[in-house]
Each structure stands twice: as structure tokens, then as C-alpha cells.
Amino acid sequence: MFEKKIAIIGLGYVGLPLAVEFGKKYPTTGFDISENRIKELAEGKDSTLEVTAEELGSSCHLRFSCELEDLRDANIYIVTVPTPVDEHKRPDLTPLVKASKMLGKVISKGDIVIYESTVYPGATEEDCIPLIEQESGLQFNVDFFAGYSPERINPGDKEHRLTTIRKITSGSTPEVAETVDSLYKSIVTAGTHKASSIRVAEAAKVIENTQRDLNIALINELALIFNRMGIDTLDVLEAAGTKWNFLPFRPGLVGGHCIGVDPYYLTHKAQEIGYTPEVILAGRRINDGMGAYVVSQVVKRMLKRRIHIEDANVLILGLTFKENCPDIRNTKVVDLVREFQEYGANVDVYDPWVSQKESQHEYGITPIDAPAAGKYDAIVLAVAHTQFREMSVDTIRKLGRRDCVLYDIKSILPKNEIDGRL
């Protein structure tokens, strides 16, 4: 068995924890095209907050680089770049294409390339591997090999970490599948599941989040129905939840790098092979429309209080796609901002977890440093950060004017002290 020399391509929420764990056991190079990212990691800092300075320091065989030549010594390459969708909800494989072409310039005979990025079934062998072959002149499954082991990182979750989440593995040949599986077993204490093929592993990943997306879409649709009936959705869910096999999903905004994106990869591939998915796309339409629905509910309550919407001051508490992490990828809170702005309202966003520079770059939104007391006509609690959970209703209401509308998307405040919730 050859000596494992690992290179991790992409040092975001997925790649960095992986690099740190492998770097405890094997010579590992963490590669990222961002010089600023490499610089902060070299200084022992992680802006994603997924890895502590102590954890970075404990990875004694890990080095960081943004130089392509530093990858040439590796014999196992693990690709962890983003796989977003474009403005038309179509898969954007640009980061994956660039990473594959780049690896084609440094890969050698006998090397293994493992992809972790979420894709549709077939993408690894049909879209990525040919690019490596073209750039390198090497033949797949003769000169080099591939694997697929989908990421299952949950940003901000300090309980379910890389090592404690069971890992799916696969390889392009039975021998490579065994090598990939044993590699991940060496760092994942929760164990592994060796899939029968790369395509099976790709499909397994993409349906994990599609299933969750559809479950939330069902609850969101129920919330739309119950609201028209004058029934509190959370009361209904709590009552139904007394049955042992009722699934505890809650209504809300469905964003992030996985649940709000992955279903489009599957539907894209389905349409490509001539099948039009009905249920999956219906769920996506419901979830994508929840931002507009929330704003419509807030606006109705403002109008009932004779609050003029145009030039009204609105405060949104939270911008990240989930609580207690700085991740703003595909956050649906942006939909709230845009909808209120369409009505002519002035919108302030406050989120102590978010980098103002990153938010401005990604969405053109600069979160405020702190909300002013007595300023707002409407306040929307959009993300359940601990800082907001610890605020009393009185504290939040003091940020608003006398007739301020307080709407709680996350249902963390007492229902008799707010003006509305999903």
C-alpha cells in the first residue's frame, strides 16, 4: 500500500474540517484559491468558526497553500468546492470544472481523486473525470482512479461533527472503493457505508436533502392553509407530535448550501433524461415562496394599524441561513429584504454573526452594528440565534415604535406577546 499524501481542494465549511482530521495522521496539504483564506488559516484563525485555533494547531501534518505546484506531491486528492445553482435554478458546476481541470495539471499515474461536492448522479464520471483526462493525458481507471464520498457537514453544529457522522464512500473499481473506505474509516469514528458505485453514492447524497426539503414544504403548505383557517400552526404540530411516529418538522425559510439547492441538481438530471419531476419541484416552489408570504403577512398587519408601508422602517433580526453560525450561503432572509424594499420600506438587517464585508459582497446588504431604540414600524425575527433567544419580548419591542408589528418566523417568542408567526 502506497504512503498516503493527501491534498484537500477547497477550505470552506467542508474542506477545512477534513484537512484538519487527515492532517493529524497523514501528510496533508489544504489548498484554496483565496490567498486571504490561506493567510488567516496560517495564523490559526477560521472565519467559518467550524474549527478552533486549538484544533488547527493539533493537526501536525497539515500545511496550507494557494500554489498549484504544492499539490504535485499528493497521491490522493479530495475535492470539496461549492456546487451552487445559477439565477435560473440550474446546477452551476463552474467551481467543480475549474478544480477538475486544475487537478489534471498535477495528477500522476496511480493517483486517486475523491469528490465530496454534492452533484447529480453521474456528474463525477461524466462531467469531472473527462476534464482530468483531457488535461493530464492519463486514462481513467488505468492511470488514475476516482471515488465519491459526499459531505455531511452541518455548519454550526458542535455535536454532529465530521468524525461523528457516518460517511458514505465509493470508488471507481472494487479495489479503489476499498482504499477510499479504509481512508475515511481511519478518521471517522462513526464508521462508513461503502456504496455499490459512485453513482449510487451521488444519488444517496442528493436525496438526503431532497427528502428534508419536501418534508418542510409540506409543513409550510400546512401553515399557509392553517393561517387562512385562523389556526395556529405550531399548536397543531405540537398536538400531532404526541404520536410516536410523527416527524417534528417546522415551517420556515429554506435556504443554505444544501436543502435549498440540492433538489435542483436531481430535477435537472431527471429532466435531462426525459422525466419531469412533479413532487420535488412543487416542494421547491412552496419553499421558495415563503419569503414573499411572510412579508405579505407583516404588511397586512401594518396596514391594519394604519402604518404607511412606503418609507416605513423595518428591522430584520438575523441574516444567516440558520442559527448560531456565520454562513450566509443561499440565505432566504434576503428574500425578506427584497420584498420589503419592493414595497418601498427602509430595511435594516442586524446579525451579530455575519461579516458586513461578506454580506455586502454577496448580496449588497450591509448589516447594521446595532438597532436603534424606538425606530421601527415592523420587526421580523428571522433567525433563532442564541443572542435573540436570550432577548425578552420587551427588549425587542423597545426597538420599535408604539404600534410596531412583531412577527416571529422561528416561533421562539410567546405567541400571546407577538403579532404573528408561521
The catalytic residues are 258
Cell reading at 381 = 425575527
CA 152/CA 168 separation, integer angstroms: 9
For the chain, the three-class secondary structure string (H helix, E strand, C coil) is: CCCCCEEEECCCCCHHHHHHHHHCCCCEEEECCCHHHHHHHHCCCCCCCCCCHHHHHHCCCEEEECCHHHHCCCCEEEECCCCCECCCCCECCHHHHHHHHHHHCCCCCCCEEEECCCCCCCHHHHHHHHHHHHHHCCCECCCEEEEECCCCCCCCCCCCCHHHCCEEECECCHHHHHHHHHHHHCCCCCCEEECCCHHHHHHHHHHHHHHHHHHHHHHHHHHHHHHHHCCCHHHHHHHHCCCCCCCCCCCCCCCCCCCCCHHHHHHHHHHHCCCCCCHHHHHHHHHHCHHHHHHHHHHHHHHHCCCCCCCCEEEEECCCCCCCCCCCCCCCHHHHHHHHHHCCCEEEEECCCCCHHHHHHHHCCCCCCCCCCCCEEEEEECCCCHHHHCCCHHHHHCCEEEEEEEEECCCCCCHHHCCEEC
